[in-house]
Structure 1
């Protein structure tokens, strides 16, 4: 079961990227996985570039089983071809394949099954956090994104996602337009500066 798609997403840098994120749970999950050490918009645009390179037709979806079954060097080529999908194409191609294999093995090949029918926020964060490439913080941010923009709101989701579940501009879960993206970026910058001062 796919989550309820929002009116429009503002996570990627192109309309095609945002349209894919809105209707393809795997693209959304991959965007979150790639969201490290590169700009958020780049991370969430890369799934649509990957789909294009894999020959997914317009309006189609990425297929976890197809990605898991690709020869690793083929997927690496998709990641490495300019413009590269990530600053670290090798490690992220491997991680993407691991994530897709986990979805095939444990979730029937459908990313949406990870959050379908979940009955508590804690269980939602636990499920996401069990996926390759998702630590606790990333799991809480993604759970907050599902709640705030896709209507996936199991009991206790705000408590389970901590600060990310609160109103404000703390993470990608709060990016709903250009202005909120700027505010989230400012918040992250301030947090980094604060951490440096305390180090």
Structure 2
């Protein structure tokens, strides 16, 4: 079982390390929301449902309005609890349809990084960038290393990078990833301003 330090909270990180669905939902929620709160949300979700591990079948079958209320908290599991509750249900339904409701089946038999990336790209709420980041997270911290995983993850798979959640192993690396993201935002803004002149 991997030891993760993404949420910066012992109970939340412990769940991420032993529950593949919790890790996948954390990644789903990691947008327009602080990383550590997104990855801490699966622990809050499990606590509110009074379960030890998250279950795709249970989440998929829940009344949509009830799940939204669970996501609303307080505290809310995401800035957009309604839409993210819906995406979580979509993700769980797809896992039931294709992987017997088991998140780890996404990667357990992946013959290579390209195939795994393709599977991740098909997930609701996962775009090209998020799929590459999650692939890098699996490879760097969870021990899922099919042949060609680094190449499939692109720059996120680079050894020693500080680009994404895949590189967070504690408070120091979280600060480094935040700094990198801030630089990227500033560069993008400068590019837009230059193009607008």
Q: Give yes or no for TM over 0.5.
A: yes
For residues 145 and 128 of structure 1, the distance between their equivalents in structure 2, rounded to whole angstroms, comes to 12
Number of residue pairs aligned between Structure 1 and Structure 2: 191
Could you say which residue in structure 1 is the equivalent of 2:8? Answer: 13
Could you say which residue in structure 1 is the equivalent of 2:25? Answer: 30
For residues 98 and 56 of structure 2, the distance between their equivalents in structure 1, rounded to whole angstroms, comes to 12
CA distances 1:24-66 after superposition (whole Å, capped 9, x unpaired): 000000000000011000000000000011110xxx2100000
**Which consecutive unaligned segments of at least 5 residues does structure 2 have?**
193-197
**Regions of 4+ moved over 3 Å:** none
Could you say which residue in structure 1 is the equivalent of 2:87? Answer: 95
Could you say which residue in structure 2 is the equivalent of 1:40? Answer: 35
**Which consecutive unaligned segments of at least 5 residues does structure 1 have?**
none
Q: 1:192 aligns with which of 174, 179, 185?
A: 185
**Are 2:164 and 1:171 equivalent residues in the alignment?**
yes
For residues 118 and 65 of structure 2, the distance between their equivalents in structure 1, rounded to whole angstroms, comes to 31
Q: 1:154 is paired with a residue of what secondary structure?
A: coil
Could you say which residue in structure 1 is the equivalent of 2:49? Answer: 54
For residues 131 and 39 of structure 1, the distance between their equivalents in structure 2, rounded to whole angstroms, comes to 21
For residues 161 and 55 of structure 1, the distance between their equivalents in structure 2, rounded to whole angstroms, comes to 35
Structure with the largest fraction of helix: 2
For residues 146 and 8 of structure 2, the distance between their equivalents in structure 1, rounded to whole angstroms, comes to 30
Could you say which residue in structure 2 is the equivalent of 1:108? Answer: 100
Q: Verify the 8 A CA contact 2:136 2:153 in the aligned structure 1.
A: yes
What displacement does 1:13 show?
A: 3.3
